[in-house]
Structures are given as C-alpha cells and as structure tokens.
Amino acid sequence: MVDEHLSVGPAGPTFHGQTLEQHLLAMQRKASGATGDFTGLFQQLSLAAKIIASQVSKAGLANILGLTGQVNVQGEEVQKLDIFANNTIVRCVQQGGHVCVMGSEEIAEPIPVPPQYPKGKYVLQFDPLDGSGNIDINASIGTIFSIHRRKTAGNGPGTLEDCLQPGDDIVAAGYVIYGSSNMFVYSAGEGVHGFTFDPAIGEFFLSHENLRIPKRGDCYSVNEGNRHKWEDGVQRWADWIKKPDGERKAYKLRYIGAMVADFHRTLLRGGIFAYPADRKNTSGKLRLLYEASPLAFVCEQAGGAASDGARRIMEIQPTELHQRTPLYIGSPEDVADAVRFVGG
C-alpha cells in the first residue's frame, strides 16, 4: 500500500503552486473547442519573457546598455535592449504557427510571418521594452502585449487591417514587469492573474490570482513636469487631487517613468496613472494598440477603468498602427474624477 503521505494526489500544481503553463492548460480544458493555439502562443510569450528577463537582469554586464545610435519609428533613441527584446519576441513567436501578423513599437510596418512558417489565427502586438529609458538606471521596465483574432479571411499572411482592432475585441492581453522580481500578468477575459518568476527553477508561478483593483486609491501618477503644457482641465484635476476634498485625503504622487511599473502599482494598490494630451502632443504620448489598449483590457478585467478623457480606451477604433492616445487608467472612481475635470 502506498504510504499516504507520499502520495502526490492528482496531477496539478507543483510545490511552488501553479505554473503559468498549468494555468493556461487548465483554462484551455475549460474552453470548448480549444485547439491549443492560444496556449502555444502564451508558451512562446513566456519563453520570450524569460529570455528578456535574463538579459535585463545583467544589462550592465552584457554590454547591451546604452544606445544603438539608431532611432526607431517613434523618433526615439533605441536602446540595445529594445532591439534585443523586439527580436526575441518575434523569433519566439513567428515559427509557432499561432499568429498571422505582428505589430511592434519598434517596427514601422506590420511584421509578417516569414513564408516558411504556417500562419495562425491570432494577431500579436507588443511594446517589447516599455520604459527603456530606465534600463541604464536599473529601474523597472516591462513588456506589454495584446492578442486579437485575425479579421481577414483565409490563412495567408495577416495585414494592417488585422492589427487595427479596438480594445473591445482583444482576446487576451498582459504585461511582464522586470523589477525587484519579474512578473507575468495577463487576462484572457476571465479575471487578471499574476505569476512571479523563480529564476532558480525558470518558471512563472501563480502568485496573484484574480487581481482586483480597489475602487479608489490614494495615489496619482503623472509627470507633473509637463504641467505647463496641459490644458486647463488637466491642470485643475492635478491641482484638485493633491488637496483634501471632503472625506477624500490629499493624494500622494508616485511616478517611475515606465508605464508598466506605474500601472502595476496602480493595479495592486489603486489610484490613477495618467499621461494626458498637451499642447505639444495633442494626442498624448502613449500608443493605443500596444500600450494603452492592452493595459485598459487588464484594468477593466480587474474592475478598473481606462479613458482617453472622453471615452473608454477600449472603444477607440484604431486607424494607424502607431497612433497615440491620452490615457487615464486605474481605480474606477479615480478615473471618473479625472474625466469629470478633463472631459468637461
């Protein structure tokens, strides 16, 4: 007879808890007609995240600090790690047969799947290394991704039309934060789940199941250095939020300068992250398809809200691959307050 204390029980989580892969497989088993495409794509994203995390953790040593001297489609100086992260994601995903086209902050046009690889039913868009200005100062950075189903018929190469889809049609989205620990946070429409990386084992383990954002926080996150460029409504919001108002205490300000890190803190503790439009950047700085939309999807899945100041981010129908949007994202009551000032 097997000694009961030795029996490991039904196949399931490891001693560390459920891995990202086990979580996805469990979700796949619940999804009728699942083909494994979705799980396969996430396995490739997880591999890419591990590879990028490995390089980020030793950026100072691996001679990949600093600038390449190149300028990306955004007109921004490209850090070597940006290119590495972009190429890592493309190489991990393109041969898997799960996507028909990709879009990246680093690349001007949609990225085709090479002809020798099968085309899949998904569209992957990503910011390979968000906040890359933080690389050289060892502050948190991240990867953001969103997944849509292809819109165009057939199983040939995907097109720009497949990329230009609103947040409301996102199938899954998430981010990886490379910080004091590395986390993979995602939602596939059934809540938001966070997985913390154990470098000793090389796996992401479930650490934050079914994350929910507080209805209201006590912190706002915006680059106050841009105040002089903001429209009046934004200035009035920023002035109001830092003062007590009735039962609401004055909010504290936290700003890391990498949206993934500022959003992750907002998701866990509540409050609001904002990158408003200003007189110079009339559409704001942040990109809709691979920054604002995916994080808006995650935020709404966690009970939060995301607006451009007038409408839900998720409703915006993209017209360009790299179009920008103002962004107010976080606790629903905090976003509603901001929209009251900005939208009005």
List binders of ligand P6P among 253-292 (CB under 6 A).
257-259, 262, 275, 285
When computed from its CA atoms, the radius of gyration of the chain, rounded to whole angstroms, is: 20
Q: Are 150 and 125 in contact (CB under 8 A)?
A: no
**Interface with ligand P6P, residue 129, by CB under 6 A:** no
Q: Which helix (H) or strand (E) holds 175?
A: strand 172-178
How big is the CA angle at 243 (ends 237 and 249), to the nearest 5 degrees? 115
In angstroms, the Cα distances linking 169 to 120, 123, 126, 162 are: 17, 11, 16, 11
Q: Which residues are CB-neighbours of 156 under 8 A, at least 6 positions away?
A: 100, 119
HSE toward the beta carbon, residue 276, CA cutoff 13 A: 29
Query: Residues 275, 223: contact at Cβ < 8 Å?
Result: yes
Q: Is 165 exposed, middle or buried (0-12, 13-18, 19+ CB in 10 A)?
A: buried
From CA 224, how far away is CA 237, in angstroms rounded? 12
Question: Least distance (Å) from ligand P6P to the CB of residue 253?
Answer: 13
- Least distance (Å) between residue 324 CB and ligand P6P: 10
Mode of pairing for the β-strands spanning 182-187 and 172-178 = antiparallel
130 binds ligand P6P (CB under 6 A): yes
For residue 274, count other CB atoms closer than 10 A to its CB.
27
Could you tell me which of 232, 267, 273, 229 has the C-alpha nearest to residue 251? Answer: 273
The CA distance from 236 to 31, in Å, is 47
Q: Which residue among 131, 318, 330, 332 contacts ligand P6P (CB under 6 A)?
A: 131
Rule CB under 6 A: say whether 223 interacts with ligand P6P. yes
Q: Which region among 77-85, 108-116, 129-137, 179-187 touches ligand P6P (by CB under 6 A)?
A: 129-137
Q: Tell whether residue 87 is a contact of ligand P6P (CB under 6 A).
A: no
Contact range with ligand P6P by CB under 6 A, out of 34-42, 90-98, 130-138, 158-166: 130-138
Q: How far is the CB of 29 from ligand P6P (least distance, A)?
A: 36
Which is closer to ligand P6P, CB of 19 or CB of 182?
Answer: 182
Out of 17, 97, 133, 233, point to the residue binding ligand P6P (CB under 6 A).
Answer: 133
Of residues 20 and 321, the one with the C-beta less far from ligand P6P: 321
- Nearest approach in angstroms of CB 343 to ligand P6P is 21
Nearer to ligand P6P, 27 or 49 (CB): 49
Provide the minimum distance between the beta carbon of 262 and ligand P6P in the complex, in angstroms, as a whole number: 6
Encoding tokens for residue 301? 């899945």
Beta bridge partners, 77, equal 71
CA 242 to CA 99: how far, in whole Å? 45
Nearer to ligand P6P, 130 or 203 (CB): 130
Closest distance to ligand P6P from the beta carbon of 211 (Å): 20
Closest approach, Cβ 2 to ligand P6P, in A, equals: 53
Residues in 24-53 at the binding interface with ligand P6P, rule: CB under 6 A: none
Count of chain residues binding ligand P6P (CB under 6 A): 10
Q: Does residue 326 belong to the site contacting ligand P6P (CB under 6 A)?
A: no
Residue among 40 and 294 whose Cβ is closer to ligand P6P: 294
Q: Confirm if 147 and 172 have CB atoms less than 8 A apart.
A: yes
CB of 271 to ligand P6P, least distance (A): 15
Binding site for ligand P6P (CB under 6 A): 130-131, 133, 223, 257-259, 262, 275, 285
